[in-house]
């Protein structure tokens, strides 16, 4: 039974202890974007007139005409072939959660030449019948197509030119993550630009930006392969906590184990070649847990880069005999994996709208965006929660040792004081000739708002100086989902704000005063979303309940927030998604959830019955022989008998648990409605059986002889050197 475990451990011990190699260029500028058909490459490789058209189209987010596309395609092919590429592919993000590609050769056997037409660059029809579509395609159209997104540069991966694309049905419904995100980016651009123009006519475009802090675990490949639960579901469904977990906090910011360091250097280099601007690396809280973060970029590109990076990390890890775990909770009892989404809005004039400044006027702009964001999050907290829902993230949000599933915003002491003062100055009258900024107390927002002591690690949505950080995002998620929601709700809120300002101005109110009064109203209305205390505490859960904030702990119910009348209206009015698309997506998420729990449940049954029980029984038999022997010799054997009884009890519990769980699955699988089925899987399979079965197995791990135990243990998985 335990053979596989010891073979794997043996392999790990024999891994060559390579030192960090220092060959190759260490100057990043030598290879940064080497494999990217960047703006710079376009300028070099395109005729000036074509380049001008393309860069304008990219800058303004406009369509590219067929002739221009032909020229771009020809140049991209020549460039790609000069770098050894033989194929091209439309690279897209279907709702399966990973990326998809179908490679086509540049070589045309008819003409015996390499070819790549503009039409093939712009649009392609993948054989997509097996991608999830939540019933859209069967109801409306049989086919979908991918369409080029010129704002995200093409890159070479392996020997293939990858073209970032969106994936939509012929009737226009989005079948991917990227299309809605791009629409939400447009919506926030439009709304934020309008609001900026209340102050500054030179602002003609506002772009959301994103920097993702990606957490992950690294384990040895052989150990990983020996644990079917990791291979199939990305997390350990059994395993007792090691004697030395993360209590000591010694891993955090400690030195990085050599094997992992080599891996990091390697994937970072590959990432940089692909234009992913990775810049920081460090150990995380748990043993064998790490983080990588790139410098922030335009929303759309950053989102693409995040999944590209995850894919790349998995591939490079295997070359180092390692495996990366992006699951939100690979190990119980240890810190989970999150992905902080750092977000801000930046104008074409180079101003970060979330950067407080020393000028009073600019601070009013800052306050407008700051307060509107808080108001948006308050109005749509349920939707924010829904946007980060997944079976994996359910283990982080609202579960043990994790932040609750409540969305709240942390803004720090100083800004809280600013908002409080603004709110309380409600009756201040501002007359002509007054310094209104001073009178309203908004002339003195300190420029550097947060120092490191004013950080709150427990807040799901925190203001950190010049950006907001959506921290409750799951590490394994495509960030397009939460970022679509965040950009959309802020867009919608800014539109409302703009109309309200116009209406007030129409009544003859001075513009700045109108703005301040509306902000005051928002500050009052959205107060419930602000929370500065310990987000992990029980008091907060209670307090949040009193404030009317939602606390939905599981995915099947959390995603209901997408389908409320309020949400449907929000998505439709801002042209991000229609009702059909929203419903289809929920359908896919419920089905996906069911699949995940089903797999884990089967895996649990299989491991428990076929690996754990036989091991426990055979060990128990040894003890019985021993007890009988002792008895024959008239030696006290009470403690052995006690252990035998204990083992029996756990065996019994496992057997009954697995049997009942299987019966439940059979019943649930007959439920027609996918939401009901997902909820049943959540309540009647996962909640009812997983912990009990695990408890018994983990107890057996402590009782059974280490030599016999079939699964690689936590201490073996986690202390990689």
DSSP 91: E
State in angstroms the smallest separation of the CB of 15 from Mg ion: 33
| Cβ-based nearer residue to ligand ADP, 479 or 582 | 479
* Residue 51 interface partner, choices ligand ADP, Mg ion, none, CB cut-off 5-8 Å depending on type: none
Contacts of 113 (CB under 8 A, 6+ apart): 107
- 611 makes contact with Mg ion (CB under 5 A): no
CB 605 within 8 A of CB 662: yes
State in angstroms the smallest separation of the CB of 520 from ligand ADP: 26
State in angstroms the smallest separation of the CB of 695 from ligand ADP: 36
| Cβ-based nearer residue to ligand ADP, 82 or 452 | 452
State in angstroms the smallest separation of the CB of 302 from ligand ADP: 8
State in angstroms the smallest separation of the CB of 577 from ligand ADP: 24
Count of residues that interact with Mg ion, criterion CB under 5 A: 1
* Residue 295 interface partner, choices ligand ADP, Mg ion, none, CB cut-off 5-8 Å depending on type: ligand ADP
Residues that bind ligand ADP (CB under 6 A): 209-211, 213, 293-296, 342-344, 352, 464, 466-467
Using CB positions, name the residue nearest to ligand ADP.
Answer: 211
Q: Please give the distance of CA 124 from its chain centroid, rounded to a whole number.
A: 28
**Rounded Cα gap, residues 464 and 466, in angstroms:** 6
| Cβ-based nearer residue to ligand ADP, 298 or 560 | 298
| Cβ-based nearer residue to Mg ion, 293 or 549 | 293
Task: Find the part of the chain contacting Mg ion (CB under 5 A) among 190-198, 323-331, 332-340, 667-675.
Answer: 332-340
Kind and range of the H or E element at 162?
A: strand 160-169
State in angstroms the smallest separation of the CB of 294 from Mg ion: 13
| Cβ-based nearer residue to ligand ADP, 54 or 450 | 450
- 340 makes contact with Mg ion (CB under 5 A): yes
- 467 makes contact with Mg ion (CB under 5 A): no
* Residue 209 interface partner, choices ligand ADP, Mg ion, none, CB cut-off 5-8 Å depending on type: ligand ADP
DSSP per residue, 28-89? HHHHTTTTEE-HHHHHHHS-HHHHHHHHHHHHHT----HHHHHHHHHHHHHHHHHTT--EEE
Q: Please give the distance of CA 289 from its chain centroid, rounded to a whole number.
A: 16
Residue corresponding to tokens 């079917």: 228
* Residue 357 interface partner, choices Mg ion, ligand ADP, none, CB cut-off 5-8 Å depending on type: none
| Cβ-based nearer residue to ligand ADP, 33 or 213 | 213
Using CB positions, name the residue nearest to Mg ion.
Answer: 340
| Cβ-based nearer residue to ligand ADP, 456 or 674 | 456
State in angstroms the smallest separation of the CB of 459 from ligand ADP: 12
| Cβ-based nearer residue to ligand ADP, 33 or 220 | 33
* Residue 211 interface partner, choices ligand ADP, Mg ion, none, CB cut-off 5-8 Å depending on type: ligand ADP
**Rounded Cα gap, residues 267 and 692, in angstroms:** 40
| Cβ-based nearer residue to ligand ADP, 246 or 464 | 464
Q: Which tokens belong to 653?
A: 């519990």
State in angstroms the smallest separation of the CB of 308 from Mg ion: 21
What CA–CA distances, in Å, run from 661 to 276, 626, 658, 690? 45, 35, 5, 9
* Residue 277 interface partner, choices ligand ADP, Mg ion, none, CB cut-off 5-8 Å depending on type: none
What CA–CA distances, in Å, run from 681 to 85, 247, 387? 46, 33, 20
State in angstroms the smallest separation of the CB of 352 from ligand ADP: 5
**Rounded Cα gap, residues 314 and 232, in angstroms:** 15
Nearest to 363, CA basis, from 263, 473, 441: 441
Other beta carbons within 10 angstroms of residue 656's beta carbon come to: 14
Output phi, psi for 350, to 5 deg.
85, 15
State in angstroms the smallest separation of the CB of 174 from ligand ADP: 25
**Rounded Cα gap, residues 643 and 641, in angstroms:** 5
State in angstroms the smallest separation of the CB of 252 from Mg ion: 14
Output phi, psi for 167, to 5 deg.
-130, 115
| Cβ-based nearer residue to ligand ADP, 146 or 456 | 456
Contacts of 607 (CB under 8 A, 6+ apart): 228, 229, 237, 238, 697, 711
* Residue 637 interface partner, choices ligand ADP, Mg ion, none, CB cut-off 5-8 Å depending on type: none
Other beta carbons within 10 angstroms of residue 147's beta carbon come to: 15
Other beta carbons within 10 angstroms of residue 154's beta carbon come to: 24
| Cβ-based nearer residue to Mg ion, 142 or 448 | 448
CB 422 within 8 A of CB 384: no
Site residues, Mg ion (CB under 5 A): 340
């Amino acid at each position: 039974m335990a053979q596989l475990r010891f073979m794997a451990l043996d392999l790990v011990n024999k891994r060559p202890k390579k030192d960090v190699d220092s060959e190759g260029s260490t100057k990043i500028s030598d290879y940064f974007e080497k494999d990217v058909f960047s703006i710079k490459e376009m300028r070099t490789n395109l005729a000036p007139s074509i380049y001008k058209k393309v860069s304008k189209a990219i800058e303004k987010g406009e369509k590219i005409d067929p002739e221009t596309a032909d020229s771009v395609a020809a140049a991209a092919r020549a460039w790609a072939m000069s770098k050894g590429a033989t194929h091209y592919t439309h690279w897209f993000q279907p709702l399966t959660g990973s990326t998809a590609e179908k490679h086509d050769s540049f070589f045309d056997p008819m003409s015996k030449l390499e070819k790549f037409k503009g039409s093939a660059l712009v649009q392609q029809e993948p054989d997509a019948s097996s991608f999830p579509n939540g019933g859209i395609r069967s109801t409306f159209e049989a086919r979908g197509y991918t369409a080029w997104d010129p704002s995200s540069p093409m890159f070479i991966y392996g020997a293939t030119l990858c073209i970032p694309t969106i994936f939509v049905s012929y009737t226009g419904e989005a079948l991917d993550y990227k299309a809605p995100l791009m629409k939400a980016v447009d919506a926030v651009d439009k709304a934020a630009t309008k609001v900026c123009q209340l102050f500054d006519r030179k602002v003609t475009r506002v772009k959301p930006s994103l920097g993702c802090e990606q957490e992950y675990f690294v384990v040895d490949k052989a150990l990983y392969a020996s644990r079917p639960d990791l291979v199939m579901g990305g997390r350990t469904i059994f395993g007792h906590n090691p004697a030395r977990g993360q209590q000591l906090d010694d891993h955090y910011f400690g030195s990085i184990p050599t094997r992992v360091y080599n891996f990091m250097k390697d994937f970072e280099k590959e990432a940089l070649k692909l234009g992913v601007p990775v810049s920081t690396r460090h150990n995380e809280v748990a043993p064998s847990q790490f983080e990588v973060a790139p410098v922030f970029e335009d929303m759309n590109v950053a989102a693409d880069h995040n999944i590209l990076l995850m894919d790349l990390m998995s591939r490079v890890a295997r070359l180092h005999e390692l495996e990366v775990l992006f699951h939100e909770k690979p190990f119980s009892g240890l810190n989970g994996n999150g992905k902080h989404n750092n977000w801000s809005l930046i104008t074409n004039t180079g101003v970060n709208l979330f950067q407080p400044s020393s000028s009073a006027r600019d601070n009013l702009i800052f306050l407008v965006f700051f307060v509107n964001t808080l108001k948006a999050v308050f109005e749509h907290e349920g939707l924010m929660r829904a946007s980060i829902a997944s079976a994996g993230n359910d283990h982080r949000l609202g579960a043990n040792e994790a932040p609750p599933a409540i969305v709240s915003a942390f803004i720090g002491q100083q800004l809280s004081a600013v908002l409080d003062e603004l709110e309380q100055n409600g009756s201040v009258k501002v007359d002509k000739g007054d310094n209104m900024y001073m009178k309203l107390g908004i002339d003195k927002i300190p420029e550097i708002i947060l120092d490191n002591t004013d950080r709150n690690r427990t807040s799901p949505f925190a203001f950190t100086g010049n950006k907001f950080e959506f921290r409750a995002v799951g590490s394994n998620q495509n960030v397009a989902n939460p970022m679509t929601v965040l950009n959309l709700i802020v867009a919608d809120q800014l539109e409302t704000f703009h109309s309200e300002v116009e209406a007030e101005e129409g009544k003859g109110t001075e513009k700045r005063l109108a703005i301040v009064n509306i902000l005051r109203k928002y500050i009052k209305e959205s107060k419930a979303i602000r929370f500065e205390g310990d987000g992990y505490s029980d008091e907060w859960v209670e307090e949040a309940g009193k404030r009317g904030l939602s606390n939905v702990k599981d995915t099947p119910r959390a995603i209901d927030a997408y389908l409320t009348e309020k949400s449907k209206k929000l998505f439709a009015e801002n042209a991000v998604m229609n009702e059909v698309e929203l419903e289809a997506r929920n359908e896919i998420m419920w089905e996906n959830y069911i699949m995940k729990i089903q797999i884990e449940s089967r895996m649990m049954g299989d491991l428990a019955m076929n690996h754990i029980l036989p091991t426990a029984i055979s060990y128990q038999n040894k003890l019985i022989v021993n007890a009988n022997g002792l008895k024959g010799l008239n030696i006290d054997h009470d403690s052995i008998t006690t252990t035998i009884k204990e083992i029996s009890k756990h065996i019994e519990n496992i057997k009954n648990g697995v049997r009942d769980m299987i019966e439940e699955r059979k019943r649930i699988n007959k439920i027609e409605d996918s939401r009901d089925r997902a909820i049943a899987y959540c309540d009647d399979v996962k909640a009812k059986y997983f912990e009990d079965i695990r408890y018994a197995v983990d107890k057996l791990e402590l009782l059974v002889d280490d030599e016999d135990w079939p699964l690689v243990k936590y201490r073996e998985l986690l202390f990689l050197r």
